[in-house]
Amino acid sequence: MSVAMMPLPEWSPLPFDPAMAPAERCRCLVAAFPDALREVLATGTLEHRPRFGENGFEGLQESWSPPASLSARQVAMAQRVLRDLESSILAPAEPDHLLGRVLALLSHFPAKGLTPDVEQLVAMDWVEDLGEFPAWAIDDAARAWRRTRKWRPSIAEMRALCEEACAKERVLAQRLRRIVQTLRASNAGHGLAEIRRFP
């Protein structure tokens, strides 16, 4: 049996503790990946490019590329880990949890002159606009706001906190996606042991 066709190793749920510092949390997550996949992540190329917006220079943008050649087995491992990451750690919050968290946060900063019906509609807007984030990131953002601010948050401010909370996990998911994308349709059905990355 070729290396590319060997079954993937047994897989345990990804370890994750949202209470840990982001860098340590991500380090523990990567440490649980199969050795061959960790090797790919470690040998990829990281570039920094300037990012410009409406107000000029906005900082550096990271661009990561996998090594020039990958085994089909490494790509399969990346695909499985990415699927697990997206379906567990980065899975969007359940609407009921999100609505409860938003209503609780907004109740700490009551808005004057809003009827309960309007307040409910405002909360539903929040659910729509924060719905892409995992529950733990929303909880983290709400906790940070309660402890550091004296006024009612805007949706944009909460989105920024949610993005910051899960930034490292999202970067990791993006790198796994880049590995998976190297598998071209022309090679997918041929069981090739090595896949070349095309520019």
Instruction: Please write the tens of the pLDDT for every residue from 48-96.
Output: 888 887 888 877 788 899 998 888 889 999 999 999 999 999 999 999 9
152 φ/ψ angles, rounded to the nearest 5 degrees: -70, 135
Please indicate, yes or no, if residue 194 is contained in any of the structural domains. Answer: no
Same domain, 30 and 84: yes
Return mean pLDDT, the chain: 85
Tokens of 22: 């982001």
Q: Is the pLDDT of residue 196 over 50?
A: no
Please indicate, yes or no, if residue 109 is contained in any of the structural domains. Answer: yes
Please indicate, yes or no, if residue 198 is contained in any of the structural domains. Answer: no
Same domain, 56 and 145: no
Same domain, 25 and 86: yes
Q: Is the pLDDT of residue 193 over 50?
A: no
pLDDT digits (tens, 9 = 90+) for 130-177: 999 999 999 999 999 999 999 999 999 999 999 999 999 999 999 999
Q: Tell me the C-alpha distance between 129 and 93, whole Å.
A: 12
Q: pTM for this one? A: 0.80
Domain with residue 151: its CATH number is 1.10.8
Q: Is the pLDDT of residue 21 over 70?
A: yes
Give buried/exposed letters for 170-199 (b at 16+ CB in 10 A, else e): bebbebbebbbebbeeeeeeeebeebebee
Domain count, the chain: 2
pLDDT of residue 91: 97
Please indicate, yes or no, if residue 123 is contained in any of the structural domains. Answer: yes
Domain of residue 69, residue span: 19-90+166-189
Same domain, 86 and 173: yes
Nearest residue to 166 (alpha-carbon basis) of 144, 139, 137: 137
